[in-house]
Amino acid sequence: MDNIKEEPDLEEPAQQASRRAHRSDPTENLKAMAVPELALAPSTTAPATAKIEIAGLSKVFATRTGPFTALDTISLDIAGGSFCTIVGPSGCGKTTLLRILAGLENPSAGRATIAADNPSKPLNAMVFQGDSIFPWMTVWNNAAYGLRMRGAPKAQIRDVVGHYLDRTGLLPFADRYPHQLSGGMKQRVSIARAFATDPEVLLMDEPFSALDEQNRTLLQEELLKIWDVDKKTVVCITHSVDEAVTMGDRIVVMTAHPGRIKSIVEVPFPRPREVLALRREPAYGALVYRIWGDLRDEVDRARRQEAAIEA
Amino acid sequence: MTLSPAARDRLIGLASPVFLLLAWEGFGQLGWIDQRFFPAPSRIAMSFARLSSSGELWTNLAASLMRLFWGYLLGGIPALLLGLAMGLYRPVRALIEPLVAATYPIPKSAILPLILLIFGLGEASKVAMVALGVFYPMIINTTAGVLEIEKIYLDVGKNFGAGRGQTFRTIALPGAAPLIMAGMKLGAGLGLILIAIAEMIGAQSGIGYMIWNAWQLMSVDTMFVGLIVIAILGFAFNWALDEVERWLLPWKARG
């Protein structure tokens, strides 16, 4: 994408960290105070500057066959401006974790807080998995959705939406409806919609899983370019180890059900990253191999669990 | 000449009734069908001209259209609102759905005596019949339309901070709109059927009355004029609603 423009410095003054409890859990937050800080949780570096603080977070769903623990005392700090990817076998609760951060689910215990540097910004915006842009709105109106819901002034909507549609190469398609777009373009609209609200934290739920390999690689590259400009804090779930290593600063590997953190791997590659160039580096292969090693046991366990349920 | 598929469909849609009329006329002229029961289209056209110039046709048409209009509004709007509420809120659904399911299969024409008993022989009973006809397809389709909205869109609304009213306006209503439109079309058809029936009993005006009166006078041409007017109305409503749909739902991909 050649149409990336330098944009005015959007970096917030650091350390202003007026911590705001997550919208969804005003009461959970009080409950959390009673929960002792858990030492059991896997190693987490916990600098005071963490943008996202997840402490002793559990989620239990009531099901017909009894309670189902999706997340089991997860503790994790994510530094501001970092790109954190989460991988894990399917059913490990990673989507639940993201939905709690997004305010779409409430935690059963513990808390997840996002530090708000600027109270006028939304805490988070999510790039959803699969088709999530409204088929009844044009590309432009979809990208403007978050800003409109927040009652942003018209002029601001025009500038910001124009800017992100330009950056994602969608400006020529602003008046199209989603049924006239390819899968890759739809997902770019979803990305533009999330970026346009300028959230404190960007959440991504397997953003490219519905795309073919070629489109996925292109979109990863485009996303990295957009992200490099203002380095938002990102939490991105993926089932692709390649994607996790390509995009992330840190990779959180989760266990099979119940979801716990198995390991946290730092990704040493410098930015900006060229996706294809990166992938031919031996160090890249070694890192992918290592994470696969962590993941394989869990995938096997998840399979055995599934087989046990089937039986 | 190349035609767009839509233009081609419209041409075909026009061609089939034209063909039927031509065949009918031909067979009538040849004496293959009994003109006393099936007067040729040319004779029907003449009676159409007579009824039209005497103003009789227009008075009756206006009376029917007025009843259809009010019935459509009085049946359609409550059905739309109730349907949206039923789709969005489970308790409302639990409350109303059994009632709808139980009363829907009762033939509306069978309710006519009851309606006449309640609303009398005046305008109200005719309007009520149309309203009944419109109500059911509208409420059933609207509820189904809201329920059919992918849950992810509601998540998107919530994630981007849409309030209750905004969710209603930006997600529930547009998301259910395709099925609401289908309900409106079904309702228009049922409304026409029921207005004709209602006007045959105890009415002094309307297309249904015109048909019934013609039968009593054995004026078969006039009867056919009435039937054809109803057919044209049905066609016109459907066409108008198609246009409304095209304009309202530009995002629906049409094959």
In this complex, is the C-beta atom of A145 within 8 Å of any C-beta atom belonging to chain B? yes
User: Which helix or strand (DSSP H or E) is residue A253 part of?
Assistant: strand A250-254
| Of B144, B141, B111, B128, the residue nearest B75 (C-alpha) | B128
* DSSP class of A11: P
Residues of chain B with confidence (pLDDT) below 70: 1, 253-255
**Contact B166/A134, CB-based, under 8 Å?**
no
Q: Which residues pair with A62 in a beta bridge?
A: A67
CB contact under 8 A, B153 and A124: no
Min CA distance, B138 vs chain A (Å)?
A: 21
User: What is the model's pLDDT at position B32?
Assistant: 87
Output the pLDDT for position B66: 95
What is the pLDDT, as a whole number, of residue A193? Answer: 94
Residues of B in Cβ contact (< 8 Å) with A189: none
Q: Which superfamily does CATH assign the domain made up of A79-102+117-123+199-310 to?
A: P-loop containing nucleotide triphosphate hydrolases (3.40.50.300)
pLDDT at A277: 87
Tokens of residue B146, six digits: 């809201």
> ∠ CA(A99), CA(A102), CA(A107), 5° rounding?
60
- Which residues of chain B make contact with A177, given a CB cutoff of 8 A? 250-251
Domain boundaries, chain A: 79-102+117-123+199-310
List the domain boundaries for chain B: 38-247
In this structure, CATH architecture of domain B38-247: Orthogonal Bundle (1.10)
**Positions in chain A whose pLDDT score sits under 70:** 1-48, 311
- Give the position of tokens 């009415």: B203
Encoding tokens for residue A202? 């960007």
| Residue A20 neighbours by CB distance under 10 Å | 14
Asked if A197 and B170 come within 8 Å (Cβ–Cβ), the reply is no
pLDDT of residue B254: 55
Report pTM: 0.77
SS3 category, B100 = helix
What per-residue confidence (pLDDT) applies to A24? 41
- Provide the pLDDT for residue A34: 37
Nearest to B110 by CA among B168, B194, B182, B41: B194
Query: Considering only CB atoms, which chain B residues are within 8 Å of A128?
Result: 152, 155-156, 159
Q: How confident is the model at residue A83, as a pLDDT?
A: 93
- Verify whether the Cβ–Cβ distance A177 to B152 is below 8 Å: no
Half-sphere exposure of residue A208: CA atoms within 13 angstroms, side-chain side: 22
Amino acid A2: pLDDT: 41
CA B31 to chain centre: 36
The pLDDT of residue B253: 63
